[in-house]
Amino acid sequence: MQMADTARPRPVRRLHPGPVRVMHWINAIMILIMIGSGFKIYENQPIFSWIRFPSFLLIGGDPEVAFKYDSDPGFGGALQWHFMAMWFVVINGLAYLTYGFATGRLRRKMFPIKPREVSETIREALRFRLSHDDITVYNGVQKLLYIGIILVVIVQVMSGLAIWKPVQFSLLIDLFRNFETARFVHFLGMSAICLFLAVHVTLALVAPRTLLAMITGGPPVNESPQTPAVATPHAGRENKDEDSDAVSLSVPSDKRD
Amino acid sequence: MKIVTPSPSRFRPTSAIDQSILVENQALLEKISRRGILRGAASLGALTMLTGCDVTNRDSVQDVLRAMSSWNDRVQAILFDPNKLAPTYSEADVVRPPRFNAFYPIEDVKPVDRASWRLELGGLIADKRPWTFSRIAGLSVQSLVIKHICVEGWSYIGQWSGPNFRVFLERIGADISAKYVAFRCADGYTSSIDMASALHPQTILATQYAGEDLTAPFGAPLRLRTSIKLGFKNPKWITAIEVTNNYPGGYWEDRGYNWYSGL
């Protein structure tokens, strides 16, 4: 191998590569637009009379603007926002999945998810002894949540397409049983995304380094085969697994250089 | 390091803060302050710019939203399969009476007199003679048990009967290569649909609901009923039909609702 060649230093690989950061923030903005405009659309015809959303959370609902442009309290505007942001969510999401599969990042970061690791993380969290020493390695709960939210968004897009085009995409309607159940699944998906957001944003604020890492790229990721795994008190074994995984994956990229 | 203590206090540390970490990581700190902050500022700046244009430049935001809506019109026209039928249901599932919806409450409905009612025709139509209700009633009747889906999200199953719209358009010599079919209603409501949807086998001029003549709140004497459009694209109390190549818009369509609104 050409590891002896140290004249030209390789660019440092960071926890979150540029494309991931860009896609993360595009997604963050567009998902918030989807939720806010979705709330406004829901408010026009609530599924449950006891679940209502306060007006400050609604998007496309500024009555002043809506009356000026649409002579309507903003429901048409909310639909416009929703059907604009959907393109960004879907295209950005497909780009993220393509990038994640092509670079092996998804497999490297999210797998394997071991039940023992998950229960251990939960036990540590309950004892307030959760380790944040190494933010480059996701713990079991993180892996589970991130994979979970990706699946929820996929189902959310499918139920959204189903209620947008119930005749043209009748197969999707059949998948969710009928129009009404598809609409309910779309509501449940929104609820799950909001729950995830609450946890995700809270944890990012509890450990601001992780939030900063999504802006600056975060700490360098160790992918050199010669450096031994850095053992941290809580993620010792798993960390080693991760690193050996990273080694095998970093070899082809070395050769490409 | 030596520190000067002005007054002896229990809460004052006995030694200064250890500065060695700062010295050790000076390179890293410089890197963070130069590149990291700049890069961070760029993405945060992008965020504020986005919210900024929402607040300060509403016209351009509205332009973008309208442009996206007409882009969605085009995508929906491509997705539309003229031969794909919407699901139909059993007569046992029909809701009686149907659900009322208009841009005003049901009390404000002004009934239309069937006997004096006339259907005017305009635009790219060969035979523009107005139709009376008895002439409409003489056409063969098609019955549909289909779901009505409102843009608001609610839905119900209804049974609608009346002449097939394609048969009617051919009968009056309409130019079926034209782009749009526009409708004007007795209450001032307007709407329009694309020709491909007008020619769909499940698009009819409904005169009956659940086997009985339409009642005033639901569009008597004549309304459009199509299985492949949202509810507001099914105008009630139709008094005029025009075939045209100029985009006609409509009541809700002019208020920001997506024009195509196909199912």
Closest CA of chain A from B108, distance in Å: 19
Based on the domain organization, do A126 and A51 belong to the same domain? Answer: no
Residue A201 confidence (pLDDT): 93
State whether B39 and A77 contact (CB < 8 Å): no
Together in a domain, B97 and B212: yes
Q: Is the torsion defined by CA of A185, A186, A189, A191 positive or negative?
A: negative
A143 and A211 part of one domain: yes
Residue B261 lies in a domain: no
pLDDT of residue B78: 96
ipTM above 0.85, yes or no: no
List residues of chain B with CB under 8 Å from any CB of chain A. 32, 35-36, 39-40, 43-44, 46-47, 50, 58, 62, 64-66, 68-69, 72, 76, 79-81, 84, 86-87, 147, 149-155, 227-228, 252, 255-258, 262-263
Number of compact structural domains in chain A: 2
| Residue B180 shares a structural domain with residue B52 | no
Determine, yes or no, domain membership for A77: yes
Q: Which alpha helices (DSSP H) does A104-178 contain, by range?
A: 105-110, 115-126, 140-164, 170-175
Q: Does residue B213 lie within any of the structural domains? A: yes
Task: Confirm whether B123 is domain-assigned.
Answer: yes
Q: What is the distance between the alpha carbons of residues B38 and B45, in angstroms, rounded to a whole number?
A: 10
Residue B64 forms part of a structural domain: no
Q: Which residues of chain B have pLDDT under 70?
A: 1-19, 21-22, 27-58
Residue B197 sits in the same domain as residue B234: yes
Give the pTM: 0.77
Closest CB to A180: pick one of B62, B64, B155. B155
Give the model's pLDDT for residue A226. 40
Asked if residue A207 and residue A141 are part of one domain, the reply reads yes
Query: Is residue B118 assigned to a domain?
Result: yes
The boundaries of the domain holding residue A115 are 111-218+227-252
Q: Do A170 and A208 fall within a single domain?
A: yes
Give yes or no for a contact between B193 and B226, defined as CB atoms under 8 angstroms apart.
yes
Rounded Cα distance between A102 and A108, Å, is: 11
Mutation target to probe the B interface, by most B beta carbons within 10 A, among A80, A87, A163, A184 is A80
Specify if A106 maps to a domain.
Answer: no
Q: Is the peptide bond before B130 cis (omega within 30 degrees of 0)?
A: no
pLDDT for residue A239 = 42
Q: Do residues B29 and B96 share a domain? A: no
Cross-chain Cβ contact B256/A72 below 8 Å: yes
For residue A227, the model assigns a pLDDT of 39
Range of the domain at B29: 18-56
Asked whether residue B103 falls in the same domain as residue B227, the answer is yes
Taking chain A (257 residues) in runs of 10, the rounded mean pLDDT of each run is 54 84 94 92 85 81 65 79 95 95 88 84 78 76 90 97 96 94 96 94 88 86 48 42 40 40
State how far the Cα of B164 lies from the Cα of B200, in Å rounded to an integer: 9
B156 and B43 co-located in one domain: no
Whether residues A52 and A132 fall in one domain: no
Position A6 in a domain: no
Together in a domain, B239 and B111: yes
Interface test with B, best of A37, A167, A171, A172 (most B CBs within 10 A): A167
Query: Which of A87, A121, A140 corresponds to the end of one domain?
Result: A87
Length of chain A: 257
Asked if B163 contacts B233 with a C-beta cutoff of 8 angstroms, the reply is: no
Asked if residue B125 and residue B31 are part of one domain, the reply reads no
